[in-house]
Amino acid sequence: MKRIEIKQLLTQSVEHLIDTTINVKGWVRTKRGNKNVAFIALNDGSTINNIQVVVDLANFDEDLLRRITTGACISVDGKLVNSQGAGQSVEIQAQEIILYGEADPNTYPLQKKGHSMEFLREIGHLRLRTNTFGAICRIRHNMAYAIHTFFHERGFFYFHTPLITASDCEGAGEMFQVTTLNLDNPPRKEDGSVDYDQDFFGKMTALTVSGQLEGELGATALGKIYTFGPTFRAENSNTPRHLAEFWMVEPEMAFYQLDDLTALEEEFIKYCVRWALDHCADDLEFLNKMIDKDLIERLKSVVDTDFVRLPYTEGIRILEEAVKNGRKFEFPVYWGVDLASEHERYLVEEHFKKPVIMIDYPKEIKAFYMKQNDDGKTVQGTDVLFPQIGEIIGGSVREENYDKLMASITERNIPMKDMWWYLDTRRYGTCPHAGFGLGFERLMLFVTGMANIRDVIPFPRTPKTAEF
């Protein structure tokens, strides 16, 4: 018997299958009933919705039915009929049931509904079978697909940058070292320091914190590229918005200026959010009901609003004004400060009440590669700030002038030896260009309404946790 996925049964026209025998397979969500009949809600992951299997107890072995409990995996042959009950269009009258796998009710942890997110993280191998994580995983897939579609439609090339690298793009020193040296007894040079000549790559290497530098090599050859891959940061920040392993999308475009860059950032996020509204309606409705009552409203409002462009200096003025009027912040506000998330959220959620793209930051708080403005103080960096999330995108126009870039590298004491290939882009056929990085899980936080970044990726990596 050919298996039919539950999504197909519930969303497509299946008139022609009514009163025929079909097969479905899946995991039992609930079983209830009375002396004569059992109702099994079956889910196969293709959709958040369950198909109802109606079992006439007289036709089935009592022992088999006893072993079909929440979490068990079964295959059902049965007649597809229009449902008499409320809540579903069609249901299946079981004719034959095969029990693939039991789930002992005494030990299977997903019995009742309403487990805490903290508890579900402890059973990360099974939480995927809950409605919430099913919805999140399906939306995650859709967002990844939307991202590829967005860039492909606009003539960008998907460009693969290395995960193992010898350069620290963001210069924040938050890299996970990659080595095959024996850590108990590493080879040493005469001065006592570790001899990395003997390491696998003949030098010190680490997992990438960003594919941008190699992305710039791609953009200055192919015109427009994007990366989409795993990114690693050994920052010890235990917050609901940081992961040690996350996914980043990094487009890089030749001949883009600041206005082109911010326009692309805005268009890109709106495209992804609209995609979710158009393609993930069932899952979003579920999350809207169970997780965040304002979710769909918020998503729609972002798609329909113009994002604010806000120079950093103007942002500081607004924050200082707020402080003068009695608004309390934990961290001080002054020109030159790296804004804390409470400041960013004030601007977005209280002052403008819409997404803000902040531009023209003090050069001291931004990375070495950002294009320097003529004022000598600011650079053409852009952060896209979102309600609930704070920073969702970080990007900039790049400094294409060799001498200015060198000056910035020297100011920051960045070791030149490792940068020669990057500098060659400015030495040979340099061009104005720009790019940004979107934290995929930050986008997922926004689109799902989940509060913690650990709950929008199947297997989160954070300080002291690398289970599963």
Find the shortest distance in angstroms from Cβ 229 to ligand 4AD.
12
Residue 210 found at the interface with ligand 4AD (CB under 6 A) = yes
Q: Measured between alpha carbons, how far is 278 from 142 in angstroms, rounded to an integer?
A: 10
Give the list of residues 6+ apart from residue 462 with CB closer than 8 angstroms, or none.
238, 242, 243, 244, 454
- Cβ proximity to ligand 4AD, 45 vs 230, nearer residue: 230
218 interacts with ligand 4AD by CB under 6 A: no
88-107 positions binding ligand 4AD, by CB under 6 A: none
Q: What does the DSSP 8-state code read for residue 195? A: -
Contact in structure between 389 and 442 (CB atoms under 8 Å) = yes
Under rule CB under 5 A, residue 78 binds Mg ion: no
Query: Which of 217-222's residues contact partners 24+ apart within 8 Å by CB, and which partners?
Result: 217/421, 217/422, 217/425, 218/157, 218/159, 218/161, 218/252, 219/252, 219/253, 219/254, 219/433, 219/435, 220/254, 220/425, 220/429, 220/430, 220/431, 220/433, 222/157, 222/159
Q: Which of residues 408-447 bind ligand 4AD (CB under 6 A)?
A: 435-439, 441-442
Q: How far is CA 287 from CA 115, 126, 293, in A?
A: 15, 19, 8
Tell me which stretch binds ligand 4AD (CB under 6 A): 60-68, 239-247, 262-270, 356-364.
239-247
Query: What H or E segment, with its residue span, contains residue 31?
Result: strand 21-33
CB of 59 to ligand 4AD, least distance (A): 53
How many other CB atoms sit within 10 Å of the CB of residue 156? 20
Which residue's CB is nearer to ligand 4AD, number 235 or number 418?
A: 235
What residues between 394 and 413 interact with Mg ion by CB under 5 A?
394
| CB of 179 vs Mg ion, minimal distance in Å | 28
The gap from C-alpha 300 to its chain's centroid, in whole angstroms, comes to 19
Q: Does residue 140 bind ligand 4AD (CB under 6 A)?
A: no
CA–CA dist 79, 96 (Å, integer): 10
Which of 224, 233, 351, 366 lies at the binding interface for ligand 4AD (CB under 6 A)? Answer: 233
Of residues 186 and 223, the one with the C-beta less far from ligand 4AD: 223
Site for Mg ion in 377-396 (CB under 5 A): 394
CB of 438 to ligand 4AD, least distance (A): 6
* 71, 134, 218, 394: residue in contact with ligand 4AD (rule CB under 6 A): 394
C-alpha atoms less than 13 angstroms from C-alpha of 452 in its C-beta half-sphere: 15
Question: Residue 169 binds which entry of ligand 4AD, Mg ion, none, with Cβ cut-offs from 5 to 8 Å by kind?
Answer: ligand 4AD
Rule CB under 6 A: is residue 371 a binding residue for ligand 4AD? no
Nearer to ligand 4AD (CB atom), residue 245 or residue 424: 245
22 binds ligand 4AD (CB under 6 A): no
Stretch of residues binding ligand 4AD (CB under 6 A), selected from 3-11, 79-87, 106-114, 387-395: 387-395
- Strand 90-101 with 51-56, pairing: parallel
Binding-site partner at residue 205 among Mg ion, ligand 4AD, none, CB < 5 to 8 Å by type: none
**b or e along 34-47 (b: 16 or more beta carbons within 10 Å of the residue's beta carbon)?**
eeeebebbbbbebb
Residue that the structure tokens 């326009």 belong to: 263
Q: Which does 44 bind (CB under 5 to 8 A by kind): ligand 4AD, Mg ion, none?
A: none
- Binding test (CB under 6 A) with ligand 4AD, winner from 258, 269, 393, 456: 393
Note whether 266 binds ligand 4AD by CB under 6 A: no
396 backbone dihedrals φ, ψ, rounded to 5° = -170, 160
Residue 398 binds ligand 4AD, judged by CB under 6 A? no
CB 223 within 8 A of CB 254: yes
Q: In the complex, what is the shortest distance from the CB of residue 433 to ligand 4AD, in angstroms, rounded to a whole number?
A: 11
> Nearest-CA neighbor of 409 among 127, 167, 179, 238?
167
Using CB under 6 A as the criterion, what x/- string covers residues 167-206 for binding ligand 4AD? --xx------------------------------------
DSSP letters spanning 418-432: GGHHHHHHHHSS---
Q: Does 260 bind ligand 4AD (CB under 6 A)?
A: no
> 246 is in the binding site of which of ligand 4AD, Mg ion, none (Cβ under 5 to 8 A by kind)?
ligand 4AD
Question: Which CB atom, from 41 or from 248, has the smaller least distance to ligand 4AD?
Answer: 248
Q: Tokens 């940058």: give the residue.
A: 161
| Residue 212 engages ligand 4AD in binding (rule: CB under 6 A) | yes
Residue 331 near residue 172 (C-beta atoms within 8 A):
no
* 127/117 Cα distance (integer angstroms): 9
Binding footprint of ligand 4AD on the chain (CB under 6 A)? 169-170, 210, 212, 233, 235, 242-243, 246, 248, 250, 391-396, 435-439, 441-442
Binding footprint of Mg ion on the chain (CB under 5 A)? 394
